[in-house]
Amino acid sequence: MNRKLSISLFIFAGFFVFAQCKKQEEITNDSHTIVQDLSFTDSEKAIIFNNSIDSAYRIMNYFVYADSIVLRKQSRNVDFSDTSTLFYLTDRLHVTVIKGGGIGIAAPQVGINRNIIWVQRYDKGSIASHPWELYLNPVITKYSDTLKLRNDGCLSIPGVSGQSWRAIWVNVEYDLPNGTHKSEHISQEYTAHIFQHEIDHLNGILFIDRLKI
């Protein structure tokens, strides 16, 4: 076997191994998605229905050890097979953020590690009434390269205000309550900041983690 041929064979074999690994990863990911049971657990339902639909939940406090564990957990997606439980949760989550005086909230902040956020849309409506919108399974698909240090705070870190580095715009994808999947470019800095803060919560990240780039 000459040197050139053996190098070619080596490269070909390397590519083959790479291709096999990639295929296996995809299969693993696919089967993981298929087998993942997204129905609400009994312990989640116990929290969701622990009071009337018009009452606020207790907000997780970062300075309480058990709460901090919940706030640091990775959240899971919701599905639409149990909308009565889902919308009971989202209604109460909205009551909670209004009563708490926030401009956004994420489900982990009330003890439910699910990908659900409410955002007050400062880029919509009037100064008197910026609408509140609910996003299910939201993800940020792109961040601006430019970052700014912005004032920040969190209902789950009471009494603490600080700053965090934030992208000035983001692209997001999410499901609407009717199940429609949407992509959106959020160009207004303040609204983009709220999306980043709330979606961070779904990944166990708090604004105090964003003080350094």
Catalytic residues: 198
Residue closer to Zn ion, measured from CB, 31 or 161: 161
Nearest in space to 98 (alpha carbons), one of 150, 62, 134, 51: 134
211 contacts 165 by C-beta, under 8 angstroms: yes
Beta-carbon count within 10 A of 64 CB: 12
Q: In what order do the strands lie in the sheet with 170-175?
A: 104-106, 116-120, 132-143, 170-175, 181-186
Residue closer to Zn ion, measured from CB, 108 or 186: 108
193 contacts 169 by C-beta, under 8 angstroms: no
User: Where does residue 169 rank: exposed (0-12), middle (13-18), buried (19+ CB within 10 A)?
Assistant: middle
Query: Residue 197 CB, nearest distance to Zn ion (Å)?
Result: 6
Query: Residue 96 CB, nearest distance to Zn ion (Å)?
Result: 12
Q: Quick check: 59 binds Zn ion (CB under 5 A)?
A: no
Can you tell me which residue has the tokens 């439910």?
Answer: 112
**Residues forming beta bridges with residue 136, ordered by sequence position:** 116, 175
Q: Quick check: 170 binds Zn ion (CB under 5 A)?
A: no
Query: Residue 23 CB, nearest distance to Zn ion (Å)?
Result: 40
Q: Quick check: 167 binds Zn ion (CB under 5 A)?
A: no
Residue closer to Zn ion, measured from CB, 78 or 154: 154
Residue closer to Zn ion, measured from CB, 92 or 210: 210
117 contacts 199 by C-beta, under 8 angstroms: yes
Distances (CA, A) of 72 to 173, 200, 207: 22, 10, 12
Query: Residue 128 CB, nearest distance to Zn ion (Å)?
Result: 25
* Contact map string, positions 137 to 156, toward Zn ion, x by CB under 5 A: -----------------x--
Q: Quick check: 186 binds Zn ion (CB under 5 A)?
A: no
Query: Residue 110 CB, nearest distance to Zn ion (Å)?
Result: 12
Q: Count residues contacting Zn ion (CB under 5 A)? A: 1
Which residue has its beta carbon closest to Zn ion?
A: 154
The angle at the Cα of 210, spanning 206 to 213, to the nearest 5 degrees, equals: 155
Residue closer to Zn ion, measured from CB, 70 or 154: 154
Q: Which residues bind Zn ion (CB under 5 A)?
A: 154
